[in-house]
Structure 1
């Protein structure tokens, strides 16, 4: 029922419906990133009346700007954080098994250089532990000749070989949307562009929230048995109404995207920056090559998009030229960039790279807040949050902790069965049960790939019509990734994108012009080459 209210023209009905449910929410979640989505999914499946609110768009913050990796955290073993690695590896294996096409195995290569750390023997010891946690052997050593073959253009000076291991890759924003759809299926109400403005309190106990529609300015007071603050790097903002302590250390990480033909990598290469020794990944994603990430303290966290600086851009180009000198990558090769701010839990470490990636949960008399953690472990974070919130709720089914996150689905549509296997896998992974209606609603030739991407025009049309798209940046930067993968933020296909928005969203030419100007300003300031 709530799923239908994501379609165009349903927004007013959706907002007004909140009043009808106002006295009955068990859980209200502030934050529509992967943490909030995971909590909504686990709460709804337990029969709790669940409402998730996001003041911007779903996955607008950190959850669309990560490195897209579902990984166990190999370096945490070396740091002695065995527990985080163990849990992360188990969750990685679970996600690859449950959502093929959305979370897929990717090979990683660590190059070894004479006299440099890590050497093959030391690295193999770490990988033995890593593979033991996974219950299977992924590691493999490559000779000098083999390493040069699988990593063309690699810096050969003092190279002695490489070691391959396995983690996984995803589209983080699509992961959020898939989890939200699962939550909706079990009855959760999930709404974007409605933010929590204030907490409602009675005798120092949090009993609900005051919310505001970002599009109309309308406000509502909504009651709940427990309010969950899953706003990530902004968690101290809402929690500050009750507790004065500041726990979050914001850290900015930036990436650049270049055409695959300029830097062809068949797997992720882990290298160390020649300036400071930080590990950097150079990896294939959605038909392009990505280089990242930086790791810098973000001094202030405002309610605006993060941006990469020129210093970060030069830093990432420098490591690429060092590791792939023959490629001679230049600034003009960059298609796009993105920057995200990670919510690290402050412990006093000298720099953000040294902070642990554990999550923390705080209970402030009816407000349960959570922050930190990894994309990989969102399910475990959700279970910890609900365990803390349980004392505010009536009894609910608790024997679901090990249940699958994603529903199994086998499409029966005849048109779907005729698609190539790689596309069937992708559509099932990205859209689950919705993949059937996506294919059946596709127009002629819309199931062809958009040049330069792994996406189809049918996906653009379906998400515009069914996934609560409000602005053009929702469509091009998060529901799809055309804004990151194509030149000019995807506007090289302006006519086709306009047609989809006109037909699926009902946008007039005037509305399109307003959205186009807005989008191009956002893309140029936050996703392009920094000025």
Structure 2
């Protein structure tokens, strides 16, 4: 049932929804408001399940607003033979590109090859991997370029030792806006989502009747401290890196290995790149990238353990700053980038299933679905594959809730895997001003989908102008404050309209204009605005800025020591490269090609999936 979206996610809607939480049992209760939970809510609403989603902080507060913004097919997973994961990712990417223009957009990738990072063997391996990558997407987008041609596409990259590189196609998104659009469309189909509601204590059934399976949760409204007992046929734990919190309540051991990935953001004019550039870190050989995103240049990422507690906004550490600065200094020395050029930083926590590997980067990024004593946990995985993950989780739900709502599980399963578009198709964009630049129009349609008409309806004179230094327009702030569940100022400026990432100091210079637009919409008095703005600026300084500069190691000295160490080993590598390195690379290339061709042929002949 479609609702009047102007009343969804404002204070009155939240109050009415809370008061009805315990009136009758829900079919499904989802805990976690990131992309995984949002995707499950979207698909469950399509199947006419009565579904509630709760999130303890803001929607997309955790990993899903702090990713690397890439919608990619997982090229790196081919190296470990995870063809199924790569194929699922490529399929997800292609569908998002086809349906989400303006929210999910193509991104060209350049993969630099240098003498000192095993480029001879690397060309064979990466060439084979990119061939497989393109075949899985039924396209041919990659090409190898000479050093001279490669520098034409990445003019500021270091020419020293450059042997050329590959170009291929991937995609990027605004991750937080992706979550919001999926949630909004789920709400239009009858799904219910509440932020700032914590799932605290599991309620179990009578052990003598059905083994003590969980049948509900005690929920706490963190804004008012009131509590409600909510019952549900199925409880889904979609809390990502926080999944062990609920799992422990059903007697399970901790299995999540939270990994932090941190990023630096530079102004596009100071670090100009026309497309993504990926290269091996000059110190440890890990892949690092720099790419254009929403008018800035994003550099990432690290991959380090992030031990508990995880209840505060994660921030980049001094060592991570030095690590990423060493990467850009080593490969883009002509730009002479310094800490003064950094606009903002951010760090996200990846929900990775721990297997005891010494190197965090060696842990699998695939998702898992665990049915543990009746609690269904869905965690791990990639932003790109959220729909496939949601459908796999709901396969188990359909079996459990067979006959609920008068529909068989078998009937729902058939509808679950139909070719329904991921996003609600748009009728037209006539409600936007005819004089609006085409790129702004495209972006608004992608970010807000069918809600763009309501956004246009609330815009005041002058609010179609761009917010200085950003791709957003002022009207987006008004719409978000009115109808997008904004509770705190950081919800608005870090996740709805991402001023806090695009501008120095979180956009502090624009706060007077922001206040004039959103304070009346949110109903905040002057005291509340003062408290919110102080808390926001404090958060930006603590978690989205640089740590104390005195604590940041000298990355230039780190680079110098690394170059000395490489000089000692370079002769040995050159001798090995033409023998063992080339043979190993060629062997791996052949194996990858044979595996993917065999699995594609088998899929075509038998209909068997390769996920």
Is the structural similarity TM-score above 0.5? yes
1:254 to 245, 255, 262: 262
Q: 1:354-433 to 2 correspondence within 5 Å? A: 354-394=362-402, 395-396=408-409, 397-398=412-413, 399-401=415-417, 402-433=419-450
Which deviations, in whole Å up to 9, do the C-alpha atoms of 1:324-375 show, x marking residues without a partner?
A: 0011111111111111110101122221100111111111233111111011
Aligned to 2:253: 245
* Residue matched to 2:506: 489
1:439 paired to 2:442: no
Counterpart contact for 1:415–1:440, Cα < 8 Å: no
1:281-292 alignment, distance < 5 Å: 281-292=289-300
The whole-number CA distance in structure 2 between the counterparts of 1:451 and 1:266 is 21
Q: CA deviation at 1:383?
A: 1.1
What is the match of residue 42 of structure 2? 41
Equivalent position of 1:267 in the other structure: 275
**Greater radius of gyration (CA):** 2
Higher helix share: 2
Aligned residue in 1 for 2:213:
205
Question: Structure 1 residue 414: deviation in Å?
Answer: 4.7
Tell me the equivalent position of 2:147.
144
TM-score by length of 1: 0.97
Distance 1:200 1:277 in 2: 49
User: Which secondary structure does the structure 2 equivalent of 1:433 belong to?
Assistant: helix
Say if 1:102 and 1:170, in contact at 8 Å, map to a contact too.
yes
Summarize deviations over 1:200-229 as a string: whole Å, max 9, x none: 111211111110000000000011001100
Conserved? CA contact 2:431–2:453, under 8 Å: no
Displacement of 1:413 in angstroms is 3.2
Alignment of 1:127-526 (within 5 A): 127-202=130-205, 203=207, 204-394=212-402, 395-396=408-409, 397-398=412-413, 399-401=415-417, 402-526=419-543
Native 8 Å contact 1:112 1:161 kept in 2:
yes
Structure 1 partner of 2:592: none
Q: 1:115 offset after TM fit, Å? A: 5.3
**Contact 2:432 / 2:453 at 8 angstroms: preserved in 1?**
no
What whole-Å deviation, never above 9, does each CA across 1:434-478 have from its counterpart, x for those lacking one? 112212321222112222211111111111111000000000000
Aligned residues of 1:411 and 1:436 also touching (Cα < 8 A): no
Counterparts of 1:461 and 1:278, CA distance in 2 = 42
Tell me which residue corresponds to 1:87.
88
Deviations 1:505-526 (A, max 9, x none): 1221111001011111111111
Q: Which moved more, 1:391-400 or 1:200-209?
A: 391-400
Structure 2 Cα separation of the partners of residues 302 and 141 of structure 1: 43
Question: Cα RMSD between the aligned structures?
Answer: 1.4
TM-score by length of 2: 0.85
Q: Within 1, Cα distance between the matches of 2:364 and 2:352? A: 7
Structure 2 distance, partners of 1:245, 1:210, is: 22
- Secondary structure of 2:8's match? helix
Say which SS state the counterpart of residue 241 (structure 1) adopts. helix
Distance 1:2 1:525, change over 3 A: farther
CA contact (8 A) 1:2 1:184 kept: no
- Residues 497 and 366 (structure 1 numbering): CA distance in 2 closer, same or farther, change over 3 Å? same
Secondary structure, counterpart of 1:254 in structure 2: strand
CA separation in 1, counterparts of 2:115 and 2:350? Answer: 34
Measure, in 2, the Cα distance between the counterparts of 1:226 and 1:86. Answer: 30
- The answer to whether the 8 A contact 2:117-2:280 is kept is no
Distance apart, 1:504 and its partner CA = 1.7
Are the aligned partners of 2:429 and 2:445 in contact in 1 as well (CA < 8 Å)? no
Contact 1:251 1:295 in 2 (8 A): yes
**C-alpha displacement at 1:71, in angstroms?**
0.4
CA–CA distance in 2 between the matches of 1:161 and 1:101? Answer: 32
Runs of at least 5 residues in structure 1 that lack an aligned partner in the other structure = none
The runs of 5 or more residues in structure 2 that have no matched partner are: 403-407, 549-611
More deviation in 380-389 or 43-52?
380-389
Please say which of residues 136-145 and 165-174 is displaced more in the overlay: 136-145
Question: 2:169, 2:456 → 1: CA distance?
Answer: 32
Conserved in 2, the CA contact under 8 Å of 1:234 and 1:301?
A: no
